[in-house]
Every structure is written in structure tokens, then in C-alpha cells.
Amino acid sequence: MKKLSFLLIAFVLILSACGGGTSNNGGSGVNRAASTQNTSEASGGTENPPAEEPVELSFYFPVAVGGPITSFIDKLAADFHTENPSITIKPVYAGSYQDTMTKVVTAVQGGNSPDLAVLLSTELYSLLEINALEELTTRFEPVYFDGFYEAFMSNTKAGDQVWSVPFQRSTIVLYYNKDKFKAANLDPEQAPANWDELRDYAQKLTVKDGSGKVTQWGLEIPSTGYQYWMLQALALQTGTNIVSNDGKEVYLNKPEVKEALQFYVDLGRKDKVMPEGVLEWATVPSDFISGKTAMMFHTTGNLSKVKADASFDFGVAYLPANKTYGSPTGGGNLYVFKDIPEERKQAALKFIEFLTQPERVAQWSIDTGYVGTTPAAYETELLKKYVADFPQAAVARDQMEYASSELSTYQNGQITKLFNDNIQAALLGNMTVEEALDQSQQQADEILQKYRK
Amino acid sequence: MTKQMLKDNLLAYALLFPSLAFLAIFTFYPIIKVLDWSFYESVMSVKRFVGVDLYQQVFQDEVFLKVLRNNLLLAAVTVPISILLAMYMAVWVNDKMRGTSLIRAAFFYPTLLPMIAIANIWLFIYTPDYGLLDKFLGCFGLEGQSWLGDPKWVLISMMVMLIWKEAGYFMIFYLAGLQALPKEVYEAAALDGAKPFQRFRKLTFPLVMPTTLFVLIIATTNSFKLVDHLYIMTKGGPNNASNLLLYHIYETAFSFWDMGNASVLTVILLVILLAFSIIYYGVLDKRIHY
């Protein structure tokens, strides 16, 4: 009996030891990266010239659109390693944007900061609040930043300081079904240019069957998850942005925003050219592809998907103007972190420069459907040829002239959520436009108050 | 206490040690930590002791109250229906007849799917106009609703989906319970001329009560734990009409980075679940004959 129990205890101990071992191995790549760093620092020293010192960078990135993004990133990392044998990029695929942000913040707060990450451009102020970022203003020549589209740069800045570099960026465009346009006696090469035309076209494109039931809608603007983004587009077209450039002020109840939300609400509830109520973000492209709606507002990120799946000829156009054209930008930027040794920062900057060379930006845009971040990318043979074959891809680029920064503030998650909730309440008719926007402004002011000192 | 008993106890603790250690690290420690954090206002880098202030605030928070109401409603509807359905299905497939195993597999199949896959499937089912449900209703000339876009319908739509997923899972427990029942009592009942429904009400139902208690606890806790589908289907909308407590906690913690409030909400969730367990085990348990 005694023997047996000892045996059992020994067995249990071994088991738990194994368990412990596994969980250690399972620990994030950051640990391993950190230990590599330590050894390289120790062994580095005097005899080796600095260029020879091997540096390993952990690069967190999310996958937010379709396509084999991870293999593209792996290839970029490998190419970079060939060019710079002393630097190894270790891409860490971290899930969605939200998951990546969660991992990064946890890592930063745990003192295990990653070296480089792709995160939403709108997370800027959240990252600043935990003091996680390396400022990039003086790290590059000003002319380097001038190479990007201005609308993309505006989300990299807090005031005049630059904190990130545009990478996988998108914007909103109008998709329309040319076959449906022909069927409704509309010129398929002429998309609606302003709100009146948009409403008018949408009316002509709304088809009802004998019983009065709608079988085809004129227009769909999604209203889950990103309704703030859609409303922002409408507000920009009416002549105002809803956010200041320091992340401390929002202007959610300006008259222009009210006009914009009223238009958004009326399309469904009054003009009856858009389904009433809330339209699921992911369902809208399926509706467009299946012909249930003749036009939609959606991200350029879906261009490749629509191109692959639509069985009809479709057009892409600027979002119609009210007083002006306008669309907010979206998507992710490259961030470098503060709490890492200088040589790794240098390596990260080098990698960023590598990623933003025109040829690579062009290839990335073709592979993923994101908008090329620099005008220079559109001058490359690669992208010129692609745009010639697929002119829809050029629309987002041309619209960049009218684009503006996306809603991004301190406490961004909370502000976005309350704004989203109130917009939905207005779309559902539970609140008037005034109530929804005044309440949003008031709630946002309460949250942002403490940052305004 | 004899020496032998001491030895046995020692052995027992040695055997329990690994799971106790894991329980302590991944359950008890986080619970204590969450309790601790719930007394601090902690947003991003700021952390400040505020006592029970956050608790007072949370009960005035409209979103929280709505979310809590949604969740209690969801539990109140899905738990009894899915349990009754599970019992019904189990009694049905317990009989020996042709094709039983196929039917069992069919009932159990929703459980095998990951919640995310289910959410995607049902997203298509609920799609207005050309979704499966609306097409089906169209056959009878009925007009569908905006199932996920209308606050009146969204929670009901979720409930139907959860019942579909959960009932098959609970059926397995009942099936196991039914097969362990003694044959003699049924033979005696048959001799006395009991009708099938009488047999169910007087024999089967009371005899599977231990299973019911177990399933009741699993079902209730699950109705607070299953939130993955929200991420895919509605993100809690429209205007929080389908938002649930755990998803609200997730958003508060990892979208707002408001750890203080998230901790408060977590403590509330813990208290609710604990209360259910105590009621079930403390009250129902005494009325059940094992």
C-alpha cells in the first residue's frame, strides 16, 4: 500500500511538472523574442560590429479581410530578411483587430511590449494613454510622411506629432449594379453624384411585386458595427467632420450632422428606398451580390470579394455629395512601441520603410484590396496595369482627395459604442434625430471632459 | 483518526493536488483579483481606489439594466423549453425502433458545431428576404421580419437558435439517465395497466430528477455563458436589444479598457450564478430521490 501511494504521488508530481512545462512553452513569442534579445545584448558587446548583431522583431498583425493575408505577410518578412540578414521579423498572427489590440495592451501592461504591430488607426489615443508608443515625428524625414495621402496621415497624428504609419487602409465607396441600372433606364456609366440623385435613382431602382412587397431595394447603407463610420461619411459630405484632431472634442450634434442623420433615417423610414431598421454589416455585400439591392455603401476592403462573386457588371463610384464629396478613411496603421531597445526600434523603422516602398504598397493593394497608401504606388507599372484592367480600383484613390480622418478619440471604444447605439435608436425610430445626437454629444462630453484640462 | 485514515487522506489530497492547483491558479485567484479590482476605478493607466462607488453607478447604468433584463429573460425562456424538449427527444429515441441511432445523431449534431459556425449558419437563416426562414415562410405566403434588425424580434430569434443548439446536448444526459432506470418498475406499471403518459408522469419524470437538476444547472449557467454568437450576429444590437451580460463585460474590458467596471460586472455575474447554484442544490436537491 505504502509503495503504491508513493508511486502514485510520484506519478502525480511528474504529471504536474509536465503540465507546467507545457504552459511555459505555450507562452507567447514575446518571451522568446525577449530572451533572444538578452543573449544578443550579452554576446554583442565590443568585438562584433553593430550591423552583424542579429535582431529579432515580433510583429503583431490582425487579419480583417478575406484572402491568404498571413502568407503575404510571411513572404514580406522573408523578403526583408533576405535584404537584411541581421534582422528577423517574426510575424505573430493575433486574430481580429480587436483581439490584436487586446493582446498588445496586455503585453504592454505586462512589461512585454511587442516591437511592431498593425492596429486600427483609431486606437491611437488609447495607445497613447497607456504610454505604449514610440513617437515617429522625427524618426523619418518629413518628406517621407508627405509621400502618403494626407487623409491617411491625419489619423496617424495627435496634434502635430506623428505616431504611426499608414499601412492597410480603406475608405467607403458606392457600389452599384450596372445591369439593374440598365433595367431601370438609368445610364450604367453614370452613378448618382449627389444626394438628390441618389434618392431619385434609389426610388427608380426599388422594385415591388404585385402585392406591393419590395423585391429589390434601391440602396443599402449598413448600420451595425460601423454606423458611426457611415454617418461620418454623410456628415463629411454635408461639410463637417465630427472629431477634432487632438482626440478630445467631438461634434456630434452640429446641424450638419443632424442633416446627415436625418437623410440616413429618411432613406429607410420616409423614402422607403432602403430596408427599414438595422442592416447587418456583413449581410449588405451579400445582398448586393445576390441582387437584393441595386446600390450599397461599403468599404473598399470588399472590392476583391464583390469582384470575385458578383455575376453581373458592377460599378464603383464616389459617395454622392451633399455639399461636397466626402468619406472617412478606415483600417490599420503600423505602430512602433516605446518600451524596447533602440536597435530594435531602428530595425522596426527599417521594416516599415521596406513595407511602404511603392512596389510593395502596390502589390499589397492588389493582393488585399486595400487602398494604396501613397500616390507613388499608383505610379508603379504594377498598379498602373492593374487599374487599367480593373478601373473600379482607381475610384477609392481618386476619392482620397475628399477623404478625411476617421472618428478617433480618447476612450474611443466607449465613444464609438454610445454613438453607434444612439444612431441605431434613431434608425429604428425609437428616438428623434435631435434626441439621438444631443444625447450622444452629452454622453461623449462627460467621458472626454477629463482629457480637456 | 487512525493511521490508516490519515494515509488515505494524504493519498486523496495528493491525487487532488494537480486539479486543485489549476483551480487555484485559474479560478480562485482570478475571482479574488476581480473582487479586489472592483473597488478601483481603473481605466487605461489610471487606477484609483473608490470603494463601492462603481457598484452604485452600475445599477444606474441603463445599458447594464437592459443587458441584465435581456439575460434573465433569455434564461427564463430557453432553459425550461430546451430541457422539456430534451426530455421529450430522449424519451422518444430511447425506445428501440428502426433508425434510432440516426435520429440521435441528428439531435446531437448541433452540439458538435462550434458556436461561431452556428452563428454564421443562423445569420444566413435569418437574412431578410432570401434567407432560409423567409424563403420558407414565403411558401405559405407569409411575410418575414427583419429578424436580427428589429428590437422586437432579435432576442426571440436568439432564443430559438440557442434552444436548437442546447436541446440536443441535454438530450444526451437524459438518454444516459433513462438507460440507467430500473426495468422492474416499468414492468410492474405495465401489469397495472398504466398508460404511456401516466408512466412518464409517475415514473420517468420523478426518476430522472437527478439528471434534471444537473441539466438545469448546466442550462442556466450556459445561458449566461454563451455569447460567441453575438460577436458574429448583432454585436449586441440593435441598440443593445440583444446584448448579454458576458458580452457587455467583454466590451467593457477589452473595447473600453474599463477594468474597474468590468470587474464589477463580473462580480455581479458571479453572484447571479452562485445564487442559482445555491437555490438549485439547496432547495431542489432535498426534494429529489436518488
Question: Which of A337, A336, A396 has the alpha carbon at shortest distance from A365?
Answer: A396
Direct distance between the N- and C-terminal alpha carbons of chain A, in angstroms, rounded to an integer: 73
Q: Is residue B1 assigned to a domain?
A: no
Model confidence at B161, pLDDT cuts 50, 70, 90, reads very high
Instruction: Say if A16 is an interface residue toward chain B (CB within 8 Å).
Output: yes
Asked if residue B285 belongs to a domain, the reply is no
A290 vs B contacts (CB less than 8 Å) = 130
Pick from B7, B22, B238: CB nearest A278: B238
Asked if the Cβ–Cβ distance from B255 to A98 is below 8 Å, we say: yes
Cα end-to-end span (Å), chain B: 30
Homologous superfamily of domain range A51-170+330-404: Periplasmic binding protein-like II (3.40.190.10)
Cβ of B14 and A12 within 8 Å?
yes
B185 is a domain residue: yes
pLDDT (tens digit per residue) in A362-391 = 999 888 888 999 999 999 999 999 999 988
Say how many C-beta atoms besides its own lie within 10 A of residue B98's C-beta: 7
Of residues B284 and A359, more confidently modeled? A359
Q: What is the mean pLDDT of residues B179-206?
A: 84
Q: Are A361 and A373 in contact (CB under 8 A)?
A: yes
This prediction's pTM: 0.80
pLDDT at position A366 is 87
**What is the rounded CA–CA span in Å between residue A386 and residue A378?**
10
Decide if A22 touches B, using CB distance below 8 A: no
- Residue of chain A minimizing CA distance to B235: A225
pLDDT band at B135 (very low <50, low <70, confident <90, very high): confident
Confidence of residue A17 (pLDDT cuts 50, 70, 90): very low
* In-domain check, residue B238: yes
Q: Are A410 and A448 within 8 A, CB to CB?
A: yes
Report DSSP state, residue B258: B
Q: Residue A293's pLDDT band (boundaries 50, 70, 90)?
A: very high
Q: Is the pLDDT of residue A36 over 50?
A: no
Q: How many domains does chain B have?
A: 1
Beta strands A295-299; A165-177: pairing state: antiparallel
Determine, for residues B149 and A277 on separate chains, whether the beta-carbon distance falls below 8 Å.
yes
Q: Is the pLDDT of residue A220 over 90?
A: yes
Helix or strand (DSSP H, E) at A207: strand A207-208
Cβ-defined contact of A126 to B257 (cutoff 8 Å): yes
Q: Measured between beta carbons, which residues in chain A are less than 8 angstroms from residue B233? A: 280
Convert the pLDDT of each residue in B208-236 to its tens digit. 888 898 899 889 999 998 888 888 888 88
Residue B82 touches partner A, C-beta closer than 8 Å = no
CB atoms within 10 A of CB A430: 15
The answer to whether A167 touches A332, Cβ cutoff 8 Å, is yes
The complex scores an ipTM of 0.72
Q: How far is Cα A356 from Cα A362, in angstroms, rounded to an integer? A: 9
Residue B24's alpha-carbon distances to A106, A110, A180, B16, B234, in angstroms, are: 22, 21, 63, 12, 35
Best of A207, A421, A422, A423 to mutate (most B CBs within 10 Å, chain B) = A421
The reply to whether B14 falls in a domain is no
Instruction: Taking residues A11-26, report their average pLDDT.
Output: 42
For A430, half-sphere exposure in the C-beta direction (CA atoms, 13 angstrom radius) is 16
A172-327+406-451 architecture in CATH? 3-Layer(aba) Sandwich (3.40)
CB contact under 8 A, B234 and A280: yes
CA dihedral sign of residues A383, A389, A394, A396: negative
Provide DSSP, A114-131: -SEEEEEGGGHHHHHHTT
Residue A47's contacts (CB-CB under 8 Å, 6 or more residues apart) are none
- To the nearest whole angstrom, how far is the Cα of A374 from the nearest Cα of chain B? 30
Question: Does B234 contact A279 at a Cβ distance shorter than 8 Å?
Answer: no
Q: Is the pLDDT of residue A19 over 50?
A: no
Are residues A371 and A296 in contact, defined by beta-carbon separation less than 8 angstroms?
Answer: no
Is B47 a residue whose pLDDT tops 60? Answer: yes
Q: Quote the percentage of chain A above a pLDDT of 90.
A: 61
Every domain of chain A with CATH number 3.40.190.10 lies at 51-170+330-404, 172-327+406-451
pLDDT surpasses 90 at A231: yes
* B204 secondary structure, DSSP code: I
Cα distance between residue B256 and residue B42, in whole Å = 11
Integer Cα distance of A158 and A256 in angstroms: 24
**CB pair distance less than 8 Å for B254 and A98:** yes
CA distance A309 to A286: 9
Mutation target among B256, B259, B261 for the A interface, most CBs of A within 10 A: B256
Cβ neighbours around A158 below 10 Å, total: 19
Distance from CA of B218 to the nearest CA of A (A): 28
Mean pLDDT of chain B: 87
d(CA A98, CA A96): 5
State the CATH number of the domain containing residue B222: 1.10.3720.10
What is the pLDDT averaged over residues A333-351?
A: 93
- Name the residue of chain B whose CA is nearest to A436's CA: B239
Residues contacting A270, CB < 8 A, separation 6+: none
Confidence class for position A66, pLDDT limits 50, 70, 90: low
Greater pLDDT, B214 or A5: B214
State residue A38's pLDDT score. 41
Chain A CB contacts of B150 below 8 Å:
277-278, 428
Query: Which of A19, A276, A286 comes nearest B18 by C-beta?
Result: A19
Model pLDDT for residues A169-203, shown as the tens digit of each residue: 999 999 999 999 999 999 999 999 999 999 999 99
Domain containing B150 equals: 69-243
A421 vs B14, B233, B240: nearest CB? B240
Q: What is the pLDDT of residue A433?
A: 95
Instruction: Answer whether residue B109 is part of any domain.
Output: yes
C-alpha cell at B16: 487532488
A236-245: pLDDT as tens digits? 999 999 998 8
Give the angle subtended at the CA of B114 by the CAs of B108 and B118, to the nearest 5°.
85
Nearest to A155 by CA among A376, A351, A330: A330
